[in-house]
Amino acid sequence: MTAGEVWRNWSGTVRCAPARTVRPRDVDEIVAAVKRAQRDGQRLRPRGAGHSVTPVAATGDTAVDLAGWTGVCAVHRDSAQVVVRAGTPLYQLNAELDRFGLALTNLGDIDTQTLAGALATGTHGTGLRYGGMPTQVRELEIVLADGTVTRCSATEDPELFAAARTSLGALGVITEVTLQCEPAFALEAREYAEPVEQVLDRLDEYIATNDHFEFYWFPHGRNAMVKRDNRLPANATPRPMHPVRHWLEFDVLENAALGAVCRTARLAPALTAPLNRLCSALVSRRHYSDRSYRVLTTRRAVRFLECEYAFPLAALREVFDELRAAVRNLPYGVMIPAEVRVAAEDDVWLSGAYGRTTAYLSVQQYAGLAHREYFELFESIAASAGGRPHWGKFHTLSVDAQTARYPRLGDFRAVRAKVDPTGLFDSPYLSHVIGPVVP
């Protein structure tokens, strides 16, 4: 346990100095931290790898850092289910699963988040037939505010389960997660530049006919970068990218070179739009296949700010067209491309895809460049399409607006009031976005 440490999140947008930071090594130590915070009248925030842009993991009281509580603790081979400690980073989880011949069905863009952190904000990847990460959860173990260790699943305390799969850390400290995996599989990746008009014309076909489809839109360029990842048959031999080309593409171009271009834009903001246009013209063509998690996730060293909303899939085209038109009137350029993804409908109460087949649209800007008007524009477009903000990314909505967007937020708050009546896991930020605890 340490006092007075300063903690910063990945994007540098949040900084806090918890009165106490606890790094438990087992469930008993997590329970002890919870009971001690209760006794001392402190609030408590579990935290992951700090990859949320918002203060969702911040606290001035007790922080519980689960970096020492990692690893797969049980494997059920017949059901392809695994029990995983909550603080496990996704890169470690993917590697351990691979050793057992298993894989997660879908993943987001990166693998540096912790498992519990990714679940808590509804982290998702892309693919019309696949849900976000919380849909792969089958059971959770949680330490509640009174120090009780409880379990929930679709059959055991189903309300707590529906709430806790994406909880913003508001219900307790998740200690173990049972995940439904599947036999390890390989994906064939096709990534290339295509005129954005053409991508939009083929959008329905692309979404329907690829396992994982997404595209990046360069706001000032002619081309979009299309990514289509499809499962290889089990007996096919993957053809990974040559390591040197891999290094050139993903380390040099997507990180070092992009970083240099972004820093140039920060020094000379007037160059932002032309540089974004240049990036759109220089998109590489890649065709390779590899283990699923190596295709789905990449390294992101360039720090950016992000605002992402989930919409009904049917609204995607209209929202995208409005955004394109609006960006032309911005007083500055946008450096980082926007990202478009899709997901299957799910039943996780605070998921962006709850109850509807979903398109995600995420706007991004290099940290250090102006972004406020861009994000505000996007948020106003999102509002008219019933968009639900990502819990780990920038947005300005408070509880009243969230209640209109997330139809089960009221149910979530009722569960929360039951399991945490004194608001041990509350924080000023949570009170703002999901409301204070009302017992």
Ligand X SMILES: Cc1cc2nc3c(=O)[nH]c(=O)nc-3n(C[C@H](O)[C@H](O)[C@H](O)COP(=O)(O)OP(=O)(O)OC[C@H]3O[C@@H](n4cnc5c(N)ncnc54)[C@H](O)[C@@H]3O)c2cc1C
| Sign of the dihedral defined by the CA atoms of residues 31, 33, 38, 42, in that order | negative
Instruction: In whole angstroms, give the CA distance from residue 298 to residue 312.
Output: 27
Q: Check binding of 433 to ligand X (CB under 6 A).
A: no
**Site for ligand X, residues 240 to 279, rule: CB under 6 A:** none
Asked if residue 46 binds ligand X (CB under 6 A), the reply is yes
DSSP letters along 298-359, please? Answer: ----S-EEEEEEEEEGGGHHHHHHHHHHHHTT-SS---SPEEEEEE--B--TT-TTBTS-EE
N-terminal to C-terminal alpha carbon distance within the chain: 31
Subset of 352-391 contacting ligand X (CB under 6 A): 390
Q: What single-letter amino acid sits at 54?
A: T
> According to the binding rule CB under 6 A, does residue 121 interact with ligand X?
yes
Q: Phi and psi dihedrals of 233, rounded to 5? A: -60, 150
Among 20, 22, 43, 45, binds ligand X (CB under 6 A): 45
Beta-bridge mates of residue 179: 82, 137
Residue from 57, 200, 273, 361 binding ligand X (CB under 6 A): 57
State which of positions 124-143 bind ligand X (CB under 6 A): 124
Q: Does 117 bind ligand X (CB under 6 A)?
A: yes
- Interface with ligand X by CB under 6 A: which range of 19-27, 46-54, 230-238, 330-338? 46-54
Q: Does residue number 348 form part of the binding site for ligand X (CB under 6 A)?
A: no
In the complex, least distance from residue 102 CB atom to ligand X, rounded to whole angstroms: 21
Beta carbon of residue 288, minimum distance to ligand X (angstroms, whole number): 20
Strands 149-153 and 137-143: antiparallel
Q: Which SS3 state, helix, strand or coil, does residue 160 take?
A: helix
Shortest approach of ligand X to residue 358 CB, angstroms? 11
Matching residue, tokens 């979903």: 358
Q: x/- string (CB under 6 A) for ligand X, residues 172-201?
A: -xx---------------------------
Nearer residue to ligand X within complex by CB, 50 or 435 = 50
Return d(Cα 89, Cα 116) in angstroms, integer: 9
Q: Which two tokens stand for residue 25?
A: 């090594």
Q: Judged by CB under 6 A, how many residues of this single chain contact ligand X?
A: 32
Contact residues toward ligand X (CB under 6 A) are: 10, 45-52, 56-57, 66, 86, 108-110, 113-114, 116-118, 120-121, 123-124, 168-169, 173-174, 300, 390, 392
